[in-house]
Amino acid sequence: MILDEGLVFMSDTRTNAGLDNISTFRKMTLWEQPGERVITLMAAGNLATTQAVVSLLDERSKSPEERKPSLLQVPSLFQAARVVAETLREVIEQHGKGGLQSDSPFGATLIIGGQIAGSPPRLFMIYPEGNFIEAGEDTPFFQIGETKYGRPILVRAYDRGLGFEAAMKLLLVSFDSTVKTNLTVGAPFDYHFYPTDSLQAGPRGRIAQDDPYFQVISKGWGDALKDALDSLPEFRFEG
């Protein structure tokens, strides 16, 4: 999400191919050239596809002679989004026929954001087909993967003026609501909070399921919902 203070990223780490095959994989990747650029990428969808995309982007960032431009060479975040989109499309095409269809088993959706010196922070969401959109005033945050359970909380409570600490609380409440209703989402949660114009990685880390603060947030939110429900007027049947 976009805040006045900067950009905020959070991802879960659960991947699964059925209830008996659940694993933990990092879905967030960070590229940094302090003083020049910081780029964060988050992925959802087919694990083989997302890992191939990240591996290609990482390899090309370390090989200047590679014919394709790398994320560490492009002059803008828009161009970085194009590079990621082209890489995603390339991987999907290699994985199977019909890979450009959004319902492909090889499909993936990505979020890329950050800042390159000389331009403001920007945030993009990239679709499996390789096209992408940019966050702005009307759409200040993006979600990928499982969105429906945590989205109502973001819609109601998001404010661009939130500080990083308040944003952390909001995101954890949103993820907690999703975890409680969908087995495909789970802790630990990776995060990166990028301060505008710092041009270096900001606070980042991982919050485990048993993290004391997350447990307080989870229980407190559940109790608050019950209290709010109890405080509403009772329905009365007529007659």
pLDDT of residue 32: 96
Q: Find how far residue 16's CA is from the centre of its chain.
A: 18
Measured distance CA(29)–CA(41) in Å, rounded: 5
Supply the pLDDT for residue 61.
87
Q: Could you tell me the mean pLDDT of each successive run of 10 residues in the chain, 239 residues long?
A: 98 74 86 97 94 93 70 95 96 70 73 98 96 96 92 96 98 94 90 98 97 96 96 92
Q: What is the mean pLDDT of the chain?
A: 91
pLDDT given for residue 99 in this prediction: 43
Q: Are strands 28-33 and 132-134 parallel, antiparallel or unpaired?
A: unpaired
Which residue carries 């969105």 as its tokens?
147
Question: Could you tell me which residues come within 8 angstroms of residue 234 by beta carbon, excluding any fewer than 6 positions away?
Answer: none
Q: Dig out the tokens for 174 from the structure.
A: 């949103």
Half-sphere exposure of 82 (CA within 13 A, CB side): 9
**Measured distance CA(13)–CA(19) in Å, rounded:** 15
Strand partners of residue 44: 109
Per-residue model confidence (pLDDT) at position 21: 61
CA–CA dist 212, 229 (Å, integer):
26
